[in-house]
Structure formats: structure tokens, C-alpha cells
A and B are shown apart, each in its own frame.
Chain A
Amino acid sequence: MIEKLTANFCGLLAGVLITATAHAQLTIDVTTSAGRQIPVAIVEFRGEVQAPQNFTPIIINNLARTGLFRIVTTGAISLSPTEPSEVNFVDWTSRTAEALLIGGITAQPDGRFEIRYRLFDVPRQTQISSGSMVVAATQFRGAAHKVSDEIYEKLTGERGVFSTKVAYVLKRGQRFELQVADADGFNPQTVLSSLEPIGGPKWSPDGTKLAYVTFESRKSNVVVQDLLTGQRRVVANFKGDNYAPSWSPDGSQLTVALSRDAVSQIYVIPAEGGEPRRLTQSSSIDSGATFTPDGKTIIFFSDRSGGPQLYSVPVAGGDAKRLTFEGNYNTSPRISPDGKLVAFVTRDASSRLRIATLELASGIINVLTDGPRDDSPSFSPNGRSILFESKVAGRGSLGSVSVDGRIKQRLTSQNGDVREPAWGPYPQVVAAPR
């Protein structure tokens, strides 16, 4: 998995969130890697030894975790290069590096640090990126994620997600905690704690709010919590069940599943709460709705044909169209950021719950994981990976799989069961510190 979060975003959140710890809550292991990996040399930055925190190890971990890169060991370098003229390209070519990161960290009079970096294409002996930022010691991780994003984008052509956040539910003992962490598992913050279950967190498109389900009143309600202010608002508390929220692309509306009129139907409500508009009309279970990126269609599951299958329906109203015909249990659709793929949960003949994708244009289904109990898929904001809940031997952990199925990771917590992950959007507040 790949991650991203700017120091700015972090600072905004810090005012509200309750706990902050420096260590990682989630431990990430790459379990399967891609075939070809891009060899990248990351040289320890000049002045890094004197800096209050490590910098390049964070970048190395970020890149290595994706499975897309091979980190070229640099060996002992007496004086790290910081300028192009100091780079011996022949030497780096002989070490098989295709890209090279160098840089320096300099203490500033105000106590902050200037971090400068340069990224080179080694075979072409050209600089492909450079930058500098001035950050406090507490912002080193965010700065390292930004540099990691830059390297990732320059070398793969895709936007990196090192600076994003993930939300998930942690169950420790009888207590449920809704947590938000950096996508590398660091800096977990508990945004809600309850002895009743918490479920289904979903990020607002601007990353400032979470919609989720609580059972605090001994039944399910949908709550929207503002992460900046801590304000919570119950947006759906109708008779019966109120669950499975998902945001419209403009953040103004939510779909929810309600049982107030029938067993479980899909409704659209204003994101600040209000009168629901019923979107599906069946005598069956309709649930798990997700908006397409254009906001015009909702994809959901329904068991109107027997077992649950995926369907789409226009938000403006109209007939539902069935999307899946393989297997007899397909639920919990989530659409990719580009609107081309739908990740969902499929149950196979041996009762294994597995994560699969449906390509909408072709109808091709690709089963990506083996189960036995994988659930709650969530796309990374660049659409490259799917984060999901993976229960192994009764223990809740998270997994991630690339959409091509080649790169798999497992994310575990020593503190309890992790479940129902939601990958946050790209940070909106990205005025780069200069």
C-alpha cells in the first residue's frame, strides 16, 4: 500500500483528535510483490544524522511497501551528494540504480529545518525533480510522505497516496474505537470510542468528515462527524435500521439503507440530515449503495433475484439494472475513483468471502483475494489498490491488494481487531510549505 498526508492536513486535524502516538498502530507487511521493480537509490541526506528525526528511512519504507520498487543499497558514503555536480552517475549505474534521490537537511535559526531534495534519472544522467521545504521537527513524517509522493509520481506516472489517511474500526476487548491514521499506519487518532458497535466509516469527498454507523442508542444510526471541530450530527435516526452510508461526489448528500418502510431499502438524504427520498422500491434487501463519480448513478446490492447481486439505478429515478450474474452472493459494491471498476464482496461455493472487481464496460469479474472472510473494500484515491477487512483465524486485520491482484499486503494491529477500513481522499489543503 501507498500513502500520503501533508503536514498542513495533519496540523488541522491535531486540534480535534484526541490521542496522538508516534509509533505505528498498524504493521504493514508486503506478502506478494510485482514482477519487475524499479531500482531506486535513496542516499541518506546530508545533515540527516544531526536532524532530530530520521527522514530517508521513511521514504525507503514507503517505496518498499508498494512492492513496485527495489531499494538499491548505497553502502557507506562519506559525504552525501546534494548537488548534481557531486553525483557520480557511472558509480550509480554500476549499482543498477535507475533513479537516485539525494538531499540535505539544514537547521534554521527559528528552530525549523530546511529539507532540499533532488531526484535523478540515472541512465539519462538528468534531474527529474527537485524541491525544498521548511518544516518543524514534528512535520518530518509529512514532509517525507510528500517527497515519497513526488518520487512515486515521477517514476510510475501515477499520483502517490503516501500522504492520505485511513479510517477503520478497532475493537479492543468490549470497546469499539473509530480511528484515523496515516496511510502507513502511523499517528493513529481515536475519533470516537464506544462500548456499542461502530461501523462503516466513509470519508466525505473533501476529507474533513466521516459518516459512520453507531449503536449508541441500542440501534443503528448514521452519524456525520466533523474531524476539524469534533462536532457530531445524527443524520439518520428513523424507525428501524439506519446504516451503510455513502457520500455523493459533491459531499452534499448521503445514501443510506433504512428499514423504516420495508426490510432494507436505499434512500438519499441531505448530508446535514433531513427528509429521506426513497430510491429503490423492492420487497427485497437493497443496501450497500455507492455513488458513481459523476453522481448520476448509484450501484447497490439487492437479493430481489434470490441471492444478493449488484445493480445500478439512476439517482434521478428509474429502473434498476442488474450488473452481476456470476455466483449467488455479491454484495458491498464500491466504485473506483475513475468509475471504471467496482470492488465488491463475493461469497464462493465454499462460503469464502473474497474481494473481487467488476469492470463495468466489459462485465469482466476478477477475484483478487482468497478469503476466507474478506469484507468492506475501499479503493485508494489513485485507484491502484483496494484496502479491505480480512479476518484470519478469528482475528480482524486489514489487507490491501493492487487492482491487478499482483501486490498484496497485510496490515495488523497488536491492539485488537481492525475492521471496516476506509481509505481517505487526497488531502485538499496542499499549500506546500516553502
Chain B
Amino acid sequence: MKEKFSSAMMAISVVLLAACASKEPAKEAPVETRTAPSAPTTTAPTAPAAKPVVPVETPTLNPLKDPSNILSKRIIYFDYDKDVVKSEFQAIVQAHAKFLADNRSRKIRLEGHADERGSREYNMALGQRRADSVRKVINLLGVANDRMETISFGEDKPRAQGSTEEAWAQNRRVEIVYDGE
């Protein structure tokens, strides 16, 4: 509970909340209060206008949630027993690295997962190692390590149920989660 992300962005991002409704599932027995979803803001400098000006409508879509933006892609998939970020996912990781470089107050959690085909204890470490692989790529692109926390859920939070190759492929992954999400 002491490794919580800063919620400094919350206050200024409240106006945008409506655009990005939370998909956080309700928790029955939370042990900590969740932070509300946040979004980056582009607060235009309000220069005192001598004359009335024509207001400009700025797009309010959160780039992290905009389905047409690569930043909305948050999941990096891995091969069985492997922790190498495959070339097909490099573009996603690079886009997030650039976003973090441009938005220096933002932090991320990299949540690693494994499929069920290992021991629980090894899977915890394998998920951690996958998260660490993604962290290294982002770090190499100039984002400080103290803006990223890598954690693992092991095999306990599968995306897909079942014991099939398809389900396992869905479950070997790292999810990129921004502070406040």
C-alpha cells in the first residue's frame, strides 16, 4: 500500500472523466481506496482576450483510451516460457515510452502474467520477468525506472479461461496500466 501512484493529476483531470468511464470492476472488500481514473489534460493558457474570440473545440478523447490510437493497446503477449518482447509488439511499447517521455508526470505499472502450465511459484517469477522485459525496453527509450513498477500476478488472473493453446496464448502477457487507472 505504500507503493501507490501519485494522484496529483486527479484534480485537473476530473473534467475529462466523463469521456473515459471507469472499467474498474467493483471490489467487495477493498483494503485501500482506489484512485479515480485520470487522463492527461491540455489546459490551454487563458490569455486575457481584449476582444471576443471564436472558441475552438479541442478533442477530448483520451489518447490512452482512444481505440484509434496505438496507446489504447496495452497488452504485450509472450511465447511459452519466454520473456522476450517480440518484434510485433515493439511499436506498442515504443508508443508508450514516447507518451511517458512527453508526459513526465505519468507513471505506469507493468503487470506480468503467465499461463497455467508452470508451477505457481515459478509463474509468479515468470510474470515478473516479462514485466521486467517491457520495463527495460521503455527505460532504454529514456523513461526513468522510478516511473515504472513491475509486478506479477503469476497465473492467477487469466484473461481467457480454459486449458487450450488459444487460452494460454491470451494469458502469457504484460498489461500496461497507467497511474490512476
Contacts and interface: CB of A to CB of B under 8 A. Distances in A.
- Do A and B originate from a single complex? yes
Interface string A326-366: 00010110000000000001010001010000000000000
Given A240-B150, A259-B150, A264-B125, A216 B120 contact: no
Query: Which interface class (under 10, 10 to 19, 20 to 34, 35 or more) fits B?
Result: 35 or more
B93 interface: no
A195 B27 contact: yes
Given A194-B29, A199-B156, A215-B156, A240 B128 contact: yes
A217 B118 contact: no
Contacts, number: 119
A200 B29 CA distance: 20
Given A237-B3, A263-B132, A264-B128, A219 B151 contact: yes
Interface string B118-155: 11111011101100100000000000000001111110
Interface of B is mostly: loop
Which interface residue of A194, A259, A373 has the most chain B CB atoms within 10 A? A259
A287 interface: yes
Interface residues of A, number: 46
B1 interface: yes
A234 interface: yes
A351 B117 contact: yes
Nearest to A347: B118
Contacts of A331: 118-119, 121-122
Given A195-B27, A219-B151, A241-B128, A301 B162 contact: no
B33 to A, nearest CB: 11
Given A217-B1, A219-B3, A264 B151 contact: no
B29 A285 contact: no
B32 interface: yes
A375 interface: yes
A111 to B, nearest CB: 39
B102 interface: no
Contact of B1 (A237, A329, A373): A237
B119 A345 contact: yes
Nearest to B157: A197
A288 B121 contact: yes
B2 interface: yes
A244 interface: yes
A241 B29 contact: no
Contacts of A345: 119
Nearest to A197: B156
A308 B118 CA distance: 11
A243 interface: yes
7 contacts: A193-B29, A195-B27, A199-B154, A241-B124, A263-B125, A308-B122, A332-B122
Interface of A: 175, 193-197, 199-200, 215-221, 234, 237-241, 243-244, 257, 259, 263-264, 285, 287-288, 301, 303, 308, 329, 331-332, 345, 347, 351, 353, 373, 375-376, 391, 394, 420
Interface of B: 1-3, 25, 27-32, 109, 116-122, 124-126, 128-129, 132, 149-154, 156-157, 161-163
